[in-house]
Amino acid sequence: MTKSADTHCPYCALQCAMTLTSPAGLAPASQPGPVPVTVLPLPASAAKNAPVLQVSGRDFPTNRGGLCRKGWTSTSLLNHPGRITEPLLKGADGVHRPISWDQALELAVGAVKDARARYGRDSVGVFGGGGLTNEKAYMLGKFARLALGTSRIDYNGRFCMSSAAAAGMRAFGVDRGLPFPLEALDTASTILMLGSNVAETMPPFVQHLKGTRDAGGLIVVDPRRSPTAAFTADGGGLHLQPLPGTDLALLLGISHVVIHENLVDTPYIEERTSGYSAVVRSVNSFWPERVQSITGVPAELIRETARRLAEGARKGGSYILTGRGVEQHVDGTDTATAAINLSLLLGLPGSASSGYGTLTGQGNGQGGREHGQKADQLPGYRKITDPAARAHVAGVWGVPEDLIPGPGLPAVQLLQSLGQPDGVRCLFVHASNIAVASPDANAVINGLRSLDFLVVCDFFMSETAAEADLILPVLQWAEEEGTLTNLEGRVLRRRRALTPPAGARSELWIMARLAQALDAPSTYSEDPETVFEELRLASAGGLADYSGINYAMLDRGEAAYWPYPAGSNGTPRLFREKFAHSDGKAVMTPVTPRRRRTPGANPDPAAKTMTLITGRLLEHYQSGAQTRRVSELLEARPEAKLQLHPAAAASMGITEGAFVSVANERGEVLCRAELSPAIRPDTVFLPFHFPELESANRLTEAATDPISGMPEFKFNTVWVRPVAAPVSTNVLQTMEAS
């Protein structure tokens, strides 16, 4: 009999609802045991296996039955022939070979004990991911701090949401990506969207923009004429196309118009905010004509944007939404703060029909940062330096408070410490492909290779797993139970639809076994619901309070938006009565653009100096470790291409499809050119899904925002030139090493 399981897509934070159906029925989990694994490269034809489960879209408020190409093909990876299903140990010859789980656990425990004995507890590090369930993210933070005894834990959400999170905490006292249900956008008159290309990154999202677009109220800020920006055509709205890295100045210019044209919601400012006067002074020098000279955006467009937002707030509602394009900068927190200040000037946050929000990227990017993966946080979004927070969590864990380490290092600093005398010498990596996804990727790979021992939990041989001494095979999304929190702060159930391979294990199982072998204090369950029950207790009273949520209510389909204290009905829309600061007011903070580092001089007179921005493609996700293994997606986008304007290409003698070198002092990328008038002539775009010679993060800088720790992904100087043919890997590595 055909059976089905209702669950959610494994990719982005939209968490589209889907139903997985298996004609063979849903089998219970089998007992663990070793199975063979293929570790050699497979021909492309071998990847075209029939999906083991059928996917159908399920009606849900975020996706309304729709799925993107990634969602429709998501189950093809569940029985992929490249799946790792046994622990693998790298030999002296560099080849990974299967070993037993007993051997694997013994090696991992030995590596931890050796590092701690030789270098101290903080020589052991953990790098987590925004794709982990809430249960695994929670347990990973506990495992790192108690079982490993280290403060050195952070995760790839530092590369995603950290600037928006820091700005939200500063302004509102709490960080929830969208503090309102996504459906609220359906009736908006005006939406200002900065730095987000939802038409490609989360396509079902765009149906929530239709009403605004039909009313001519969609305003998109992007240096490219992206598919999302293209929705503004034919009367749909406005496209503002600033110079990369000038979004902060643009937002200050819009705020200047709001203030000086008396568009401010004065009663709201007086009753619900503090810091207004300082913000007024900070924007006085950013009049539209000056901002035009900085950003390239015409002064009249700046004025028109301010007026439309103010009019929308008075009528059907206005929303300001930010994404990584304006946040992944060394001034990303200040840029997000400027967007929040603008929204407060207009009285949007906490309104019944308006608001400000930021679009979470990773599948559990919201929940993944709430319960302990971040270097400075404990479960429930508690500060690790807060004595009361430490005491509460220590009580739930049943340990003395002083056993919990203090704050660790944010992701970039953590990765820069790899292999260093006072840095991390033994690293555990979960749900992250840092060899491709990190800034200055060449330096990160060198750091991985300098470790005494690297343990990677994965289900495919990612570029990071290929560097590992030990690979531990884990479950895929459709093989596990758990919860995730989507971009609205809504907690969702992930349900198992498939028996996992006999040799794969849940990260909960792995952490429980390692904790036992390390004689760790407290308890470590491998049952997701048991872990969630503990998470509820640990989060109780915190900003991200899950104490009123349980599996039974989620299984009944009840909507659960945090904070959801026990005895409440949750909080679909935040800030209706007050903000999370002690006085109940939002804090307006003056910000101003800061000078960036001056890049090195172009050493090649034949190369043109340009600004590089990076981003996603419709067909791929994050580092591409999964989507590059889906034949339909890889065939559609088999390689990275450098998008550049035809005029810029002509000035360098570059033609469509020709090979180009894109380089700077950190590295070099070789790829084909894709000519498009959709991008500014002074800017080039490179997707970040591809490895090795096509890896965009060979070029990105590891400089970080001083508040959030966010790297400078979206503004990097590069030198572009045509090349006659691909440069070999050995030659390129030699050039970079020199």
Q: What does the pLDDT average to over 687-706?
A: 95
Question: For residue 30, is pLDDT > 80?
Answer: no
Instruction: Write down the pLDDT at residue 195.
Output: 95
Instruction: Write down the pLDDT at residue 50.
Output: 66
pLDDT digit string, tens, across residues 664-682: 999 999 999 999 999 999 9
Q: What does the pLDDT average to over 521-529?
A: 98
Question: For residue 24, is pLDDT > 70?
Answer: no
CB 86 within 8 A of CB 470: no
* Beta carbons within 10 angstroms of residue 426's beta carbon: 27
- pLDDT band at residue 382 under the 50/70/90 scheme: very high
Q: In a 3-state reduction of DSSP, which class is residue 124? A: strand
Question: For residue 731, is pLDDT > 70?
Answer: no
- pLDDT band at residue 605 under the 50/70/90 scheme: confident
CB 204 within 8 A of CB 332: no
152's tokens: 């050195």
Q: Which residues contact 44 (CB under 8 A, 6 or more apart)?
A: 631, 634
Of residues 27 and 117, more confidence is placed in: 117
* Beta carbons within 10 angstroms of residue 602's beta carbon: 17
Question: For residue 524, is pLDDT > 70?
Answer: yes
What residue has token string 């496209």?
A: 239
Nearest Cα to 367, choosing from 488, 495, 534?
488
Q: Which residues contact 188 (CB under 8 A, 6 or more apart)?
A: 211, 212, 217, 312, 316, 317, 318, 319, 353, 354
Q: What does the pLDDT average to over 166-182?
A: 97
Instruction: Write down the pLDDT at residue 17.
Output: 98
* Beta carbons within 10 angstroms of residue 73's beta carbon: 18
239's tokens: 């496209």
Q: What does the pLDDT average to over 169-181?
A: 97
Instruction: Write down the pLDDT at residue 729.
Output: 41
Instruction: Write down the pLDDT at residue 449.
Output: 98
pLDDT digit string, tens, across residues 472-494: 999 999 999 999 999 999 999 99
- Angle at which helices 387-397 and 528-539 cross, to 10°: 150
CB 109 within 8 A of CB 511: no
Instruction: Write down the pLDDT at residue 36.
Output: 28
Q: What does the pLDDT average to over 234-262?
A: 97
Q: What does the pLDDT average to over 406-411?
A: 98
Q: What does the pLDDT average to over 530-541?
A: 98
Q: What does the pLDDT average to over 644-661?
A: 97
- pLDDT band at residue 202 under the 50/70/90 scheme: very high
Instruction: Write down the pLDDT at residue 48.
Output: 54
Nearest Cα to 205, choosing from 618, 563, 484, 492?
618
Instruction: Write down the pLDDT at residue 25.
Output: 53
Question: For residue 734, is pLDDT > 70?
Answer: no
Question: For residue 47, is pLDDT > 60?
Answer: no
Instruction: Write down the pLDDT at residue 29.
Output: 39
Distance (Å, rounded) from C-alpha 286 to C-alpha 247? 12
Instruction: Write down the pLDDT at residue 218.
Output: 98
Mean of pLDDT over the chain: 93
Question: For residue 562, is pLDDT > 90?
Answer: yes
- Would strands 667-675 and 641-644 be described as parallel, antiparallel, or unpaired? parallel
Instruction: Write down the pLDDT at residue 604.
Output: 85
Instruction: Write down the pLDDT at residue 288.
Output: 98
Distance (Å, rounded) from C-alpha 466 to C-alpha 625? 12
pLDDT digit string, tens, across residues 58-81: 999 999 999 999 999 999 999 999
Instruction: Write down the pLDDT at residue 40.
Output: 29
